[in-house]
Amino acid sequence: MALLRLLVFCALAACCVARSVPPKLPPALLLQPRNCNDSDVLAVAGFAMQNINADRKDGYVLSLSREDMGSLFYLTLDVLETDCLVLSKKAWKDCNPRTLHESVYGQCKAMFHMNKPSRVLYLLAYNCTLRPVSRRQISNICPDCPGPIDLSDPKVMEAATESLAKFNRENPSKQYSVVKVTRATGQWVFGPAYFVDYLIKESPCTESQASCSLQPSDSEPVGICHGSLSKNSLEKFVSVNCEFFESKAQGSGGENPAVSQESKKLPQKNADPTSSPSVTASRGSVQRLPDLDVEKPGDTKDVEGTKSPVEAFPVQLDLTTNPQGDTVDVSFLYLGPEEKKLEVFPFPGEERRSAECPGPAKGISPLILPP
């Protein structure tokens, strides 16, 4: 349940177009680098971000930090986590990036199909890698800022149940219970203080009960609460604020059906790329890594015994490893009986990047810019 919002920097790798040309031509002639500041490239990046967030079932909304008319775009996007959960179904442009000491940043690779005449906008696949901002660097800037806490710490659940009990007492018409804690931070104020985000669901608990038991993690949440618990030697202080998600019946309202294709089916990896999609599945994944300062002590060593640099964002995305490309049937996106197929090539490397990429970041701290 993460509220991730992707800030559009610019496509760092090549924003390329696979055109319908004879397959015997080398891939280098089929993939064309694009200017990251082109209006249509920025539009596609925005659609890709919207679809990535819509496809995810957990975590926070990602927003674009930086980023043709063609049929298939290969995009590399710099992203920032926002304060919105993906379950809220909010557009990333309506979410706010986290404050610097809580920042989570990363990169996504995505393949996005667009056909303007047919009004088709479709996220074919994506993969994202995220890291929190360096705690060492944050401590140097703001030594008193809250820091992350392990979600298994008993104090985290205490803060969640205490704050939710306060919410239930103040809103007796319905009672709620904790489904899952999504984030937790702590700091020392006049004593220990804990700040938690957690998902909630309606509970059969009665008004007289102080709190409800932890529900199974697969329970369907109806909202998210932001709670805090702080103590000194004499008393404790509790605060809570809860936000409820739109019901499925309400929907997101006004969304272009050509953009949101969540019910469409994609071919599974290792399946015959020429066959029609047969299994509904997530189109990608989001991987969370520790901050670079934590990972660096474990750097691998090469044969000469020297440390190899850690790859900040080891994002991989390949629907095919065939250098000549494979075809993917996308006929299900179109009306009419005729077959529609895309030529999909291995994701291009840095050498295919346009000279206009990456574009300038917009007011972003150097602490959260990719190296």
Q: For position 26, what pLDDT does the model report?
A: 52
Please give the average per-residue pLDDT across 50-66, as a whole number.
Answer: 80
Q: For position 180, what pLDDT does the model report?
A: 93
Please give the average per-residue pLDDT across 200-222, as a whole number.
Answer: 64
Q: For position 197, what pLDDT does the model report?
A: 96
Identify the band that residue 59 occupies on the pLDDT scale cut at 50, 70 and 90: confident
Cβ atoms of 30 and 88 closer than 8 Å: no
Cβ atoms of 199 and 163 closer than 8 Å: no
Over residues 76-85, the pLDDT tens digits come to 888 999 999 9
Distance in angstroms (rounded) separating the CA atoms of residues 204 and 165: 14
* Radius of gyration (C-alpha) of the chain in whole angstroms: 23
Please give the average per-residue pLDDT across 169-192, as a whole number.
Answer: 91
Structure tokens at 296: 């660096």
Distance in angstroms (rounded) separating the CA atoms of residues 172 and 41: 50
- pLDDT for residue 124 is more than 70: yes
- pLDDT for residue 181 is more than 80: yes
Q: For position 325, what pLDDT does the model report?
A: 83
Over residues 244-262, the pLDDT tens digits come to 998 754 444 434 333 333 3
Please give the average per-residue pLDDT across 269-285, as a whole number.
Answer: 47
Identify the band that residue 267 occupies on the pLDDT scale cut at 50, 70 and 90: very low
Distance in angstroms (rounded) separating the CA atoms of residues 229 and 252: 34
Q: For position 72, what pLDDT does the model report?
A: 83
Percent of the chain at pLDDT > 70 equals: 67
| Of the listed ranges 61-65, 85-89, 215-219, 334-338, the one predicted with least confidence | 215-219
- pLDDT for residue 194 is more than 90: yes
Tell me the average pLDDT of the chain: 74
Greater pLDDT, 40 or 258: 40
Over residues 12-23, the pLDDT tens digits come to 333 333 333 334
Q: For position 42, what pLDDT does the model report?
A: 78
**Burial call 228-253: b when 16+ CB within 10 Å, e when fewer:** bbbbeeeeeebebebeebeeeeeeee
Distance in angstroms (rounded) separating the CA atoms of residues 294 and 303: 23
